[in-house]
Chain A
Amino acid sequence: MTETIASVALAVNENLKIQKRRIRNGAGKTRLSLVTGTHGDELEGQYLAYMVGSFIDEHIDLLDGIVDIYPALNPMGIDSITRGIPMFDLDMNRVFPGNKNGTMAEVVCSAIADDISGSDVCIDVHSSNIFLKEIPQIRISVPTAETLLPYAEMMNVDFVWIHESATVLESTLAHTLNSRGTKTLVVEMGVGMRITKEYCGQLFRGVLNLMKQLGMWKGEVVPVRRPIISVGREVGFVNSDVAGIFVPYADFGDTVKKGDHIGNVIDPLTSKVVEKVEAVCDGMIFTLREYPVVYGGSLLARILQPVEGGKSA
């Protein structure tokens, strides 16, 4: 069943509608919400939403509970390759929890948060931006880690990044839902404006496993991978110090040593290497730049360091 959970009239003959699809079977009340499309340039969740929905449709008898799929929280953004809400230059993930009596964006965010609240678990799927490729990972803040980590480990991701909380992130959907008691996991994977079928498949198996663990899926599931948890590990950031064109020499997922040559920033006009990019620490490259043009400060890679005194990531 498809429902419209928020509708606001646009200027000329059109309504902005936020839609969800509810799939329900059996007597179970457990509810999983799969949410994506907050940023219009992040599309990995589109295919994941399709995979989950279509698989459940084909095996509906194995479902005992409710799955709500919200594929496009920011439909105008998806339609126009715009990260934020078009026309307003607003990042939708800085408007939550919204306001029933507020502006258009606030009204929509309020309706979304209210509709998802009460789910047993919510999975909020993001996919980096157009510049960076991310290994499938879940990001959770330190205050929610104890509650969310067991669920994150069910999701078949490679990595769980537990990060410090920041005041500015209090305006996110995940913060709003977690503060209301709806356990919400933020997934980051792949790269903006693209679909990585391999990662979607990996997360799809994770979603089924989570449903199994929640007691709402009666089908068989495959064993999931054990993610690396960031606790006790530092993340090394490799930023460009110059402007130019970045050409990577390392691959995504590579384990590197501090000082390893992982890429060059080149200047095609002078035919020179303007920066030899080196690993800032030992560890695994879990973020790698996809978009070649860089300025000073552009993020080139993130490296997950090994546990202090322990084995390499």
Chain B
Amino acid sequence: MKKKVLFSLKSPYREQLDVIGYSFGHGKRSLAIVGAMRGNEVQQMYVCSRMVKELKKLEGSGRIADDCEILVIPCVNYYSMNLGKRFWAMDNTDINRMFPGFELGETTQRIAAGVFKELQGYEYGIQLASFYQQGNFLPHVKMMDTGFTDPELMKDFGLEFGIVRKPRPYDTTTLNYNWQIWETKAFSVYANATDEIDEKAAKEAVNAILRFMDSRGLVSAVTSPGYRTVILDESDTEQIRSGAAGLFLDVLGRVVDPFECETVSEIRSPAAGTIYFAYHSPLINEKTVCFKIIK
């Protein structure tokens, strides 16, 4: 294992920001794994730290393939994590909306450019992703449909679902999208939580990534059997929105008036299926996505 500083940025008064990468194996750039780019992505950082631990063991026992280099970046934006902010604290910009970056540009453009430079040339890329809303995800893998990456590859993770998303204009500045434009087969793995640690989901994500690496011939790892992944288009999933605002009693699937506790809306599924996203906050506004269902 080699621990190296991939990008540095000075602050007026804080210790320098050093984006740390852990590199395993030698040779062809095979896989890069990126964790927290936002300050609240603690679960994403945790999954990466567990990957570092797993890869150390694999490397120690000679089970990384020849001519194969694997890079793990547990946390890009620990500056915001230490301040309790999701985005870059100075200007509230999102590093994951700055790719491919610009090394002569604004601060977060420079961070994105510096990190992206180190992430180019890998055959595969995995980002531990989070969602802007508070909620829990069934662990799943997602990719953007740029025409470059074969969706069937998602089956190698052995997660229950692999979802293909058609990129929207605002997706074009994310890491996942730009990785593909620069010819890295890129995937986003959702490990349920964001700003808290979910051990079970973290273990599942680690196993999924190990399964993928084993299946692609990058490592020789023994993992529990995975699912026969169902690949589907995001447009085939159903969003259930709250019909009213109030207190969200997610266990019961209803919204109650915050002052009088009368039920103002019952959440009913319009279709049979599997819930892969569940809103998780006691307060809910009207027209908020509270469940996502794979039909």
Binding site for B on A (CB under 8 A): 8-13, 16, 83-84, 87-90, 94, 102-104, 107, 129, 131, 167-171, 237, 239, 242-245, 267, 269, 293-299
Q: Which residues of B contact A245 (CB under 8 A)?
A: 12
Closest 7 CB pairs of A and B: A9-B245, A11-B283, A297-B107, A9-B286, A170-B169, A297-B110, A243-B10
**Which residues in B have their C-beta under 8 angstroms from that of A297?**
9, 105-110
Q: Which residues of B contact A296 (CB under 8 A)?
A: 9-10, 107, 110
Interface contact A168-B132, CB-CB below 8 Å: no
Alpha-carbon separation in the docked complex, A9 to B9 (Å):
43
* Cα distance A169–B285 in the bound complex, in angstroms: 28
Of B64-72, B86-94, B183-191, the segment with at least 4 beta carbons within 8 Å of chain A is B86-94
Given A89-B86, A269-B13: A171 in contact with B169 (beta carbons within 8 A)? yes
Residues of chain A within 8 A (CB-CB) of B258 are 11-13
Question: If A104-B288, A237-B104, A243-B10 touch, does A88 touch B170 (CB 8 Å cutoff)?
Answer: no
> Which of A169, A295, A298 has most B Cβ within 10 Å?
A295
A24–chain B nearest beta-carbon distance, Å: 31
Chain B residues in 8 Å Cβ range of A88: 132-133
Complex Cα–Cα for A8 and B285 (A): 8
Given A129-B91, A171-B168, A295-B12, 13 extra CB contacts under 8 A: A12-B245, A16-B285, A88-B133, A131-B91, A171-B170, A293-B90, A295-B10, A295-B11, A296-B9, A296-B10, A296-B107, A297-B106, A298-B107
Cβ A104 vs Cβ B110 within 8 A: no
Answer whether residue B172 sits at the interface, using C-beta atoms and an 8 A cutoff: yes
Whether A168 contacts B287 by the Cβ 8 Å rule is: no
**Nearest residue in A to B241 (C-beta to C-beta)?**
A103
By beta carbon, the residue of chain A nearest B287 is A104
Contacting residue for B259 out of A13, A170, A243, CB 8 A: A13
Interface membership of B278, Cβ < 8 A: no
Given that A9-B286, A10-B285 are contacting pairs, would A167 and B169 also be in contact in the complex, using a CB cutoff of 8 Å? yes
Q: A167 vs B173: C-alpha distance in the bound complex, in angstroms?
A: 9
B128 within 8 A of A: no
A255 CB → nearest B CB, Å: 24
B11 touches A243 (CB 8 A): yes
Q: Once the chains are docked, how many angstroms separate the CA of A102 from the CA of B286?
A: 11
User: Cβ of A10: which chain B residues have Cβ within 8 Å of it?
Assistant: 245, 285-286
CB distance A167 to B286 under 8 Å? no
Determine the distance from Cα of A237 to Cα of B105 in the docked complex, in whole angstroms. 8
The number of chain B residues touching the other chain, given as a range, is: 35 or more
Q: Which one of A168, A170, A297 has the greatest number of beta carbons of chain B within 10 Å?
A: A297
| Cα–Cα distance between A262 and B215 once the two chains are bound (Å) | 58
23 contacts between A and B (CB under 8 A): A8-B286, A8-B287, A9-B244, A11-B245, A11-B246, A11-B247, A12-B246, A13-B258, A84-B92, A89-B87, A94-B169, A103-B288, A168-B170, A170-B169, A237-B105, A243-B11, A243-B12, A293-B12, A294-B12, A295-B90, A296-B110, A297-B9, A297-B105
Q: Is B218 an interface residue (CB 8 A)?
A: no
Identify B285's interface contact among A13, A83, A104, A167, CB under 8 A: A104
In-complex Cβ contact of B92 among A16, A83, A293 (8 A): A83
Judge if B58 is at the interface, Cβ distance under 8 Å.
no
Question: In whole angstroms, how far apart are the Cα atoms of A103 and B241 in the complex?
Answer: 7
Contacts of A167 in B (CB 8 A): 169, 172
A69: min CB distance to chain B, Å = 26
In the assembled complex, the CB of B249 is this many whole angstroms from the nearest CB of chain A, namely 13
Report the minimal beta-carbon distance from B73 to chain A, rounded to whole angstroms. Answer: 20
Interface string of B93-117 (1 = CB under 8 A from A): 0100100000011111110000000
Of all chain A residues, which has the CB nearest B170? A94
Give residues of chain B (6-37) contacting chain A, Cβ–Cβ below 8 Å. Answer: 9-13
Is B283 touching A12 in the complex (CB atoms < 8 A)? yes
Q: Is B289 in contact with A299, judged by CB distance below 8 angstroms?
A: no
B144 within 8 A of A: no
B75 at the interface (CB under 8 A from A): no
The answer, yes or no, to whether B284 is at the interface (CB within 8 Å) is: yes
Instruction: Provide the bound-state CA to CA distance between A89 and B133, in Å.
Output: 9
Cβ–Cβ < 8 Å partners of B105 in chain A: 237, 239, 297
Given contacts A8-B286, A269-B13, contact A90 B172 (CB under 8 A): no
Q: How far is the CB of A51 from chain B (nearest CB, A)?
A: 29
Given contacts A9-B286, A297-B106, A298-B106, contact A168 B10 (CB under 8 A): no
Q: Are A168 and B283 in contact (CB under 8 A)?
A: no
Give bound CA distance, A102 to B287, whole Å.
7
User: Which chain B residue lies CB-closest to A105?
Assistant: B287
**Complexed CA–CA distance, A84 and B13 (Å):** 28
Pair B106/A168 contact, Cβ less than 8 Å: no
What is the CB-to-nearest-CB distance from A308 to chain B, in angstroms, rounded to a whole number? 22
Are A11's CB and B285's CB within 8 A?
yes
Bound complex: CA of A107 vs CA of B87, how far in Å?
Answer: 25
Given A8-B286, A11-B247, A243-B10; A168-B173 close (CB under 8 Å): yes
B287 A107 Cβ-Cβ under 8 A: yes
Q: How far is B156's CA from A93's CA once the two chains are assembled, in angstroms?
A: 37
A12 contacts which chain B residues (CB < 8 A)?
A: 245-246, 258-259, 283
Of residues 263 through 290 on chain B, the ones whose CB sits less than 8 Å from some CB of chain A are 283-289
Alpha-carbon distance A104/B286, docked complex (angstroms): 7
Chain A residues whose C-beta falls within 8 Å of the C-beta of B9 in the assembled complex? 243, 295-297
> Which residues of chain A are within 8 angstroms of B288 by Cβ–Cβ distance?
103-104
**B-chain residues with CB within 8 Å of residue A9 when the two chains form the complex:** 244-245, 285-286
A89: chain B residues at CB < 8 Å are: 86-87, 94, 132
